Structure 1
Amino acid sequence: MLESSKESLKLEAMKRVVGLIAKGKNASELFPAVVKNVANKNLELKKLVYVYLVRYAEEQQDLALLSISTFQRALKDPNQLIRASALRVLSSIRVPIIVPIMMLAIKEAASDLSPYVRKTAAHAIQKLYSLDADQKDHLIEVIEKLLKDKSTLVAGSVVMAFEEVCPDRIDLIHRNYRKLCNLLMDVEEWGQVVIISMLTRYARTQFISPWKEMLRDTNSEKAFYESDEEKRKSAEETKPYAMDPDHRLLLRSTKPLLQSRNTAVVMSVAQLYWHLAPKHEVNIITKSLVRLLRSHREVQYIVLQNIATMSIQRKGMFEPFMKSFYVRSTDATHIKTLKLEILTNLANEANISTVLREFQTYVKSQDKAFAAATIQAIGRCATNISEITDTCLNGLVLLLSNRDETVVAESVVVIRKLLQTQPSEHSDIIKHMAKLFDNITVPMARASILWLIGEYCEHVPKIAPDVLRKMAKTFHNEEDIVKLQTVSLAAKLYLTNSKQTKLLTQYILNLGKYDQNYDIRDRTRFIRQLIVPSERGGALSKYARRILLAPKPAPVLQSAFKDRDRFQLGTLSHTLNSKATGYLELSDWPPMAPDQSVRNVEVAEAVSRSTLALRQPVGLEIDSDEGPKNGHSCEAGSRSGSGSGSSEESSSEASESDSESSSDSDSGTEQKKQSEAKPAQKVRRSSGDGLVSVCDRVCVCVCQQLSSPVFVPVHTYELLHRMTGKGLAAQYHFSRQPCIYDDRMISVQLTFSNNGDHTLENIHISEKTSAGQNIHCFSPIECLEPEKSVTVSMGVDFNDSTQAASFQLCIYLTHTRKISQSFNVSIQPAVGELLLPVTMSEQDFSKEQGNTHTHTHTHTHTHKCSPKHNFQTSSLKQSTFYSMWFLNPEILAQHNKPNIIRMIIAISVYVELCLGSQSVVK
């Protein structure tokens, strides 16, 4: 059917194939037949083909590469779903050779008009980063751009990419913090989870702790009289903790999400309040967490784990909802255990009687593991609440007669721990346990009874030797843990009652000497040398009693969740109680409040009143005080057009961001006051103005105010790949600074990185260079250690040409010191790197333009641009001084149409100076 000429049959076949994939069946054998339909014009069929390719493109990489040109064409498709699907398939091909293509596709998709495509670009960022981590810097630029996006569809995806690529770059979040807080309610559910997690970490680094709610007022006036001082001490004023407005914004924005239908969202908000909110506000998460206990078992397990951690520190939060943690017969064992843990944490003097009645029921459960956990919980309650210790001990002694061996064994273990607190008062319990010793078969319980009898043998002097005698008969049939306790019991009785137990002890030591387990043999050898005096070991035997019969501290029975608060709630690390891969620790509160102005978003100064007036339709009158209001309409119009400049887009985004955050910052009010203080100015445009008048007005505006500097990011180019360079990687970029070596040279900075395992020595440039080009070499680098980098500077005279400067890069390897490695490399200059800008008035430009037309036949004629500049038109580098002020990209963005004409004129002048043509532009 996939090979059929009828599209209806192909569509039916693809539906069946996608159905097989949904059921988890393998359909990879159909890849060649499916990929043939990737260029089909049927929209529904193409969507299904892309769904299939996303699933199997990583497995069938070779066949997917054959259609890569089709995917690139699909990136320009009018349908946003096709563009997004093409990018998704392209990012699913895990082949390093197409990394540049993926990078270019992601950058284009990040500027797409469709938010769905931009969302897909954010997803592709993570795939590209996992494929090639060297693209991190370029990906951060895309992330920074997408973080400014106003679409709720993009917010969650780009924050996920931020967490994956550069979670430590919190400077990218500052200006987008308030926007993310305001958009949080409208973001998709899983995007909300990611954003809340990121904002939790951000808040712990940018706000001070809200848990220190009351601070002493240190600025109170000094009392002059003793009576005043006493009054001041008795009624000293305190001032409340002042929460940062942005901190309050985060809490206020996330509070409604406690009613979300998504469990993960509720859990994320709960952990945010637990880690960030003041203590008196944390209680609002209790009802939401209890509500989640009605969900599936998997959800209950995660929620109960987090509640167990919270209940250790804040018992009062969940005490009113204690009945919600009562165990049901339908609960799974792990759910029962967690509820039992929470009930134990919530137990106190007021509710212990209710809790113990519940525990009595749980002990009778058919689930042996749950019954054993209940006995441990009873022991913890007896340890934490001293008033019920005796009651719990009596109840545990009654359980020694239970038919279930597991219950009896666990009771013995818990009794042993409780008796260590006050053994002298409970010698009758030890005697009772000794009588039940023959009926107990669980090794751990038998070992616990032996340890008790040996530890407190002085309280039961008549029973202890008889128990040792019985153990000597069954020694070879006992478990290893029981044998070890038998040896210890024999040694203690030998020291306290050697007359009755000397022969028994020697017999047991002889049995242990030839036991199969080496631990028992070692213990036997140690005990023999310790308690039996000899000529060599007599000094040690003097301290045998102090060693074996030293008082042992009582064990501390505590919750298994006591130390889990070191992990952030709701994370995988908290669930596993172990640091998982990719876990980001929650930082401590800063001691001092960081600068909160970093989150203020100001309107860009480039949007001046004069340029704003020029953006309005012809014949429109503008008042300078209404500039900010009209600015939004201009920005909306500029966004609808496809040719608007980047500077205009950035200014419009900044202004919108500031308007959104005006409720949380006073920066907007201050700017409004400043604008009102300025005198009103009106710019009128008559309907009869033509293109020439518009151009003249642009000139006047620019001459009145110089354009602000424009930051241009530095572009880095690869000079030598680490694989080709035997571990040496080299990159270069043009510093755009005057060269200190020669005025005719271009300054180039090289960065060398040693990615290998051996030290590189004597990195230098050979004397072989391209003809007609001069290179000022950098000083040789004597040594470059592994995983180290060094940056050097060199000068290159390209001889007024765009041809690449080729030379040889030489190194010495330490493990092949006698052999010099040479690599042929080249530096390719961009045309813009050879140009030098200059600023001149319109009158000077018109004058020079007239001189150019007059002397076009003389190539070596000298022109005067200004008193400081004399140059020859035959020189490419010198002639480029004719790059005028209107080539400033910021001005081009502000005055689009008039400057296109002026840019054409400037290019014409440039070509005339270089080629001497008179008929380039009329």
Structure 2
Amino acid sequence: MRCSRVRCTTLDYSCLPIPEVLPQDRSYKERSCRANTMPYLGSEDAIKDLKRALCNPHIQADRLRYRNVIHKVIRHMTQGVDVSSVFMEMVKASATVDIVQKKLVYLYMCTYAAHKPDLALLAINTLCKDCSDPNPMVRGLALRSMCNLRMPGIHEYIQQPIYNGLRDKASYVRRVAVLGCAKLNMLQGDMEVDGGIVNELYSLLRDPDPIVLVNCLRALEEILKEEDGVVINKPIAHHLLNRLADLDHWGQSEVLTFLLRYRPRTEEEIFDILNLLDSYLKSTHISVVTGATKLFLVLAKGFPHVQVDVLARLKAPLLSACTSECKEMCFAALCHVREILRSFPGHFSAHYKKFFCSYNDPHYIKNQKMDILCELVNDENVLSVLEELRVCCTDVSAQLAHTAIFAIGRIARTYSENCVKILAGLLEFKQEHITSAVIQTFRDLVWLCPQCTPSVCTALPGCEENIQDNEGKRALIWLLGMHGEHIPNAPYVLEDYADNVKAETSSLVKMELLTALVRLFLTRPAECQDTLGRLIYYSIEEETNMAVRDRGLFYYRLLSTGVNEVKKILNSPKSDPSLGVLVDQKEEPVNTWVSNFNTLVPLYDIRHWDVLTSSSGRSNLSCATDHLPTVEHTSIVTSDVTSIVDSGETPEKQQPFTLISDVAITPEAFEKKWMATDSAYRLDIAWKEGVDPGILQTSLHVMNIYTIAKSKAGAQLWKSYLYAQDTEDNLFLSEIILNTDTPCLQTNVKTNAEGEGAVQQFASLLKTAVATILALSR
């Protein structure tokens, strides 16, 4: 049969029926209802069709068709469609010998058991029966599904199957049962830890299956967390060391972490353990290498030569990780390289090209690489490193360009001549952010390296036209006041700033201008007298900021005593070269940072890490992941966010603070509530100059703190208004103002919550978000 081909012709639209036009006063809801007459994937008709198909005996008789219908139910569930109405039919479908069908049905039941607890009880008998099935895969699947049911009283049903699973002949069932012990402990809540389960898990550490061994360690760590976790004594430690070869890479890294808790008693035992660990320093997996390295460094605290040898062997794996395509692994490796450089500054100098920035590197990796390059500079590679940094100075990212310019400034303390030429050349671009960063670098450079002063003074004329930010203005004004006798147009530049002082918003710039003019007046009085008089008059008579007014009064009274008295007071040194000497800095011993090695601390820096973990009241840095907030699908739960001293409660009595995600508020309602609510809490959060405050919105959104309005990027007075709601229906309204003078985030929180506990917990979340952003942008 031949297929006829239809020719395309011109259609006469006059013969087509004209659709009825809805009246203009019809509501949007009415029009949307007409548009939704066609069924879609998640409509009620589609769910009813699935329910009828699951009840159809003809489909149930055909295993393949029956499984396809169940597949459709799971597909709807994963797409967010509510298919809880077919729960009863899915429970019936679990009574089958088809293991694939069982997996699908059990996945469905684990998802909706919390919504249908009464119906979920009907599936308990089927699950208990499957726990005794001859097929070990079915037994393990049933036991895992029972442990994942989130419903009240479920621990009464799963306790005996877990006990039976711990003694099962199949290793797969034992793996599931061991992890089920941790889930059972979590479901029991504040009940006393079952000593029988703990003893059973300790005995299973000698299980022939390596995965059971690792799961036992994880389960014991969770069950005994109130007692500082699992205890590693000499027999257990030696057993774990002998079983390392049987484990996979992740199991080896986990066991190596637990072995850090064991302290050998004799030197002979230490070296026996080090000999066993030697082969793992050659592993192809970076987590195993870093875990073995840390254990080496901890055990060899009294043998510095052993630590040096181990770090030398770590060089190749770390360099390989630094060039990994996985950006997260690359960042972690770079942070650990910086840790090593604290004790061995030239450790990676021969491989400095490995730390050159690639075009597709994210900015946080480029920042780390530039910091490392500053540590690796020597006489042989200084030109190559400076050329690499010079290219980064013109990056489209202003923040990255600032980092590169400041890196050149750090190198200039040792190689000043080459660096000053590069920095002076950057001024020719006449870009605002580049010029500001260069001027700030010049300010620090002339203070630390006075031999650079003539070159810097030569490059300064004309820079004032391209500086708009406060920090750049302050740096330029300081240079003009301190070294204005060598800059021809210095009095006239300061005069322009003085004439526009009424439009200046930063009090720090005004005070810097006063000091600079007084200093320059001492060397060039004829050109500065009139300008200084007008500025002091303005500061005393018209200025509203009391700090500026007091500074003006101070200089007025000081000048009244005579020029000689002013010179005695302001005749301070113009530089301090001792601060710029880098070669005399002490190298830190390895033991000062080894406890933080292979944890999250190097990624955040110890100062930012202390800020993140200060609210939790914990000090054990070896378990770094315990300090991070847990982000769920619909809420963020942060425990112990307020200090025990403030709350007056023990950690066990504190309730978790939860912000919900499904909250919305209109701008009109926000404004009405804001005006009607008194301020409940005020705090200042430290910020860093040059970091865009707009990125706060993304970080806070993850914590279910939403932004309703904020200023545009680059605004002189940046503001942001936030709102959030917790599970107790407490509404939190917040105003954040960026104070560029300090800089800090001035935060004002208003809430309808009673007491200070909730608002302090909300403020702690804000501090955590800000600290995380500053840690990633350093």
Same-fold call, TM cutoff 0.5? yes
1:523 has 2:547 as partner: yes
Distance 1:32 1:284 in 2: 61
**Alignment check: 8 A CA contact 1:273 1:282 kept:** no
How far apart are residue 494 of structure 1 and its match? 6.5
TM-score, structure 2 length as denominator? 0.61
Query: Which residue of structure 2 aligns with residue 571 of structure 1?
Result: 599
Query: Which residue of structure 2 aligns with residue 729 of structure 1?
Result: none
Instruction: Note the 1:408-423 alignment, pairs <5 A.
Output: 408-423=435-450
Distance 2:233 2:117 in 1: 37
Instruction: Note the 1:710-749 alignment, pairs <5 A.
Output: none
Instruction: Note the 1:375-414 alignment, pairs <5 A.
Output: 375-383=405-413, 386=414, 388-414=415-441
How far apart are residue 527 of structure 1 and its match? 0.7
1:285 has 2:314 as partner: yes
Name the SS of the counterpart of 1:420 in structure 2.
helix
Instruction: Note the 1:16-55 alignment, pairs <5 A.
Output: 16-19=72-75, 30-55=86-111
Query: Which residue of structure 2 aligns with residue 321 of structure 1?
Result: 351
User: Structure 1 residues 373-382 or 485-494, which shifts more?
Assistant: 485-494
Distance 1:467 1:284 in 2: 57
How far apart are residue 375 of structure 1 and its match? 1.8
Q: Which amino acid aligns with 2:191?
A: D
Query: Which residue of structure 1 aligns with residue 658 of structure 2?
Result: none
Q: Which amino acid aligns with 1:307?
A: V
Equivalent of 2:244, from 165, 181, 184? 184
Q: Structure 1 residues 123 and 422, CA, compared in 2 at 3 Å: closer, same or farther?
A: same
Distance 2:429 2:327 in 1: 32
How far apart are residue 417 of structure 1 and its match? 1.0
Q: Structure 1 residues 81 and 487, CA, compared in 2 at 3 Å: closer, same or farther?
A: farther
Instruction: Note the 1:458-607 alignment, pairs <5 A.
Output: 459-460=485-486, 463-480=489-506, 481-490=508-517, 492-493=519-520, 501=528, 504-505=531-532, 507-509=534-536, 511=538, 521-533=545-557, 546=569, 549=572, 565=593, 568-577=596-605, 578=609, 584-586=620-622
Equivalent of 2:361, from 311, 317, 331? 331
**Alignment check: 8 A CA contact 1:40 1:46 kept:** yes
**Alignment check: 8 A CA contact 1:302 1:575 kept:** yes
**Alignment check: 8 A CA contact 1:495 1:531 kept:** no
TM-score, structure 1 length as denominator? 0.52
Distance 1:249 1:17 in 2: 56
Q: Which amino acid aligns with 1:283?
A: A
**Alignment check: 8 A CA contact 1:181 1:253 kept:** no
Name the SS of the counterpart of 1:198 in structure 2.
helix
Query: Which residue of structure 1 aligns with residue 747 of structure 2?
Result: none
**Alignment check: 8 A CA contact 2:88 2:119 kept:** yes
Q: Which amino acid aligns with 1:282?
A: L
How far apart are residue 449 of structure 1 and its match? 0.9
Q: Which amino acid aligns with 1:185?
A: A
How far apart are residue 419 of structure 1 and its match? 0.7
Distance 1:24 1:155 in 2: 37
Based on CA coordinates, which of the two structures has the bigger radius of gyration? 1
Q: Which runs of 5+ in 2 are unaligned?
A: 1-52, 301-305, 624-649, 655-778
How far apart are residue 93 of structure 1 and its match? 3.1
**Alignment check: 8 A CA contact 1:267 1:303 kept:** no
Query: Which residue of structure 1 aligns with residue 681 of structure 2?
Result: none
How far apart are residue 447 of structure 1 and its match? 1.8
Distance 1:65 1:495 in 2: 90
Q: Structure 1 residues 176 and 13, CA, compared in 2 at 3 Å: closer, same or farther?
A: farther
Q: Which amino acid aligns with 1:426?
A: T
Query: Which residue of structure 2 aligns with residue 252 of structure 1?
Result: 278
Q: Structure 1 residues 267 and 528, CA, compared in 2 at 3 Å: closer, same or farther?
A: same
How far apart are residue 316 of structure 1 and its match? 4.6
1:141 has 2:199 as partner: yes
Q: Structure 1 residues 126 and 482, CA, compared in 2 at 3 Å: closer, same or farther?
A: farther
Distance 1:242 1:472 in 2: 75
Deviations 1:166-213 (A, max 9, x none): 3635534532222222222332343333222222x224x4468xxxxx
Q: Which amino acid aligns with 2:379?
A: E
Q: Which amino acid aligns with 2:312?
A: N
1:202 has 2:261 as partner: yes
Deviations 1:549-576 (A, max 9, x none): 57675767999x9999476234334323
Distance 1:14 1:267 in 2: 45
C-alpha RMSD over aligned residues: 4.2
**Alignment check: 8 A CA contact 2:511 2:551 kept:** no
Query: Which residue of structure 1 aligns with residue 745 of structure 2?
Result: none
Distance 1:14 1:477 in 2: 70
Distance 2:538 2:213 in 1: 73
**Alignment check: 8 A CA contact 1:567 1:573 kept:** no
Equivalent of 2:142, from 78, 81, 86? 86
Name the SS of the counterpart of 1:136 in structure 2.
coil
Q: Which amino acid aligns with 1:195?
A: V
**Alignment check: 8 A CA contact 1:80 1:116 kept:** yes
Q: Which amino acid aligns with 2:231?
A: D
How far apart are residue 448 of structure 1 and its match? 0.8
How far apart are residue 524 of structure 1 and its match? 1.1
Query: Which residue of structure 1 aligns with residue 338 of structure 2?
Result: 308
How far apart are residue 433 of structure 1 and its match? 1.3
Q: Structure 1 residues 133 and 491, CA, compared in 2 at 3 Å: closer, same or farther?
A: farther
Q: Structure 1 residues 105 and 497, CA, compared in 2 at 3 Å: closer, same or farther?
A: farther
Total equivalences in the alignment:
545
Q: Structure 1 residues 382 and 63, CA, compared in 2 at 3 Å: closer, same or farther?
A: farther
Q: Structure 1 residues 4 and 489, CA, compared in 2 at 3 Å: closer, same or farther?
A: farther
Instruction: Note the 1:94-105 alignment, pairs <5 A.
Output: 94-95=150-151, 97-105=153-161
1:11 has 2:62 as partner: no
Q: Which amino acid aligns with 1:325?
A: F
Distance 2:198 2:571 in 1: 64
How far apart are residue 325 of structure 1 and its match? 2.1
**Alignment check: 8 A CA contact 2:394 2:401 kept:** yes
Q: Considering fraction of residues, name the structure with more helix.
A: 2
Query: Which residue of structure 2 aligns with residue 667 of structure 1?
Result: none
**Alignment check: 8 A CA contact 1:115 1:154 kept:** yes
1:357 has 2:379 as partner: no
**Alignment check: 8 A CA contact 1:341 1:377 kept:** yes
Deviations 1:782-834 (A, max 9, x none): xxxxxxxxxxxxxxxxxxxxxxxxxxxxxxxxxxxxxxxxxxxxxxxxxxxxx
Deviations 1:294-334 (A, max 9, x none): 32223322222222322333345433333322222233333
Name the SS of the counterpart of 1:303 in structure 2.
helix
Deviations 1:360-390 (A, max 9, x none): 343344454433322222122222xx3x222
Aligned residues with identical type, % of pairs: 22
How far apart are residue 144 of structure 1 and its match? 1.7
Q: Structure 1 residues 137 and 547, CA, compared in 2 at 3 Å: closer, same or farther?
A: farther
Distance 1:548 1:118 in 2: 79
**Alignment check: 8 A CA contact 2:222 2:229 kept:** no
**Alignment check: 8 A CA contact 2:519 2:570 kept:** no
Distance 2:407 2:534 in 1: 41
Q: Which amino acid aligns with 1:4?
A: N
Instruction: Note the 1:746-761 alignment, pairs <5 A.
Output: none
Distance 1:173 1:24 in 2: 49
How far apart are residue 450 of structure 1 and its match? 0.7
Distance 2:576 2:120 in 1: 68
Distance 1:287 1:501 in 2: 61
Q: Structure 1 residues 170 and 348, CA, compared in 2 at 3 Å: closer, same or farther?
A: farther
Distance 1:395 1:355 in 2: 12
Distance 1:548 1:54 in 2: 77
Deviations 1:447-502 (A, max 9, x none): 21112223445x44975433331111222333525334224434545677777656
**Alignment check: 8 A CA contact 1:509 1:524 kept:** no
Instruction: Note the 1:785-796 alignment, pairs <5 A.
Output: none
**Alignment check: 8 A CA contact 2:114 2:149 kept:** yes
Distance 1:30 1:338 in 2: 53
How far apart are residue 280 of structure 1 and its match? 0.9
Query: Which residue of structure 2 aligns with residue 732 of structure 1?
Result: none
Distance 1:347 1:273 in 2: 29
**Alignment check: 8 A CA contact 1:157 1:191 kept:** no
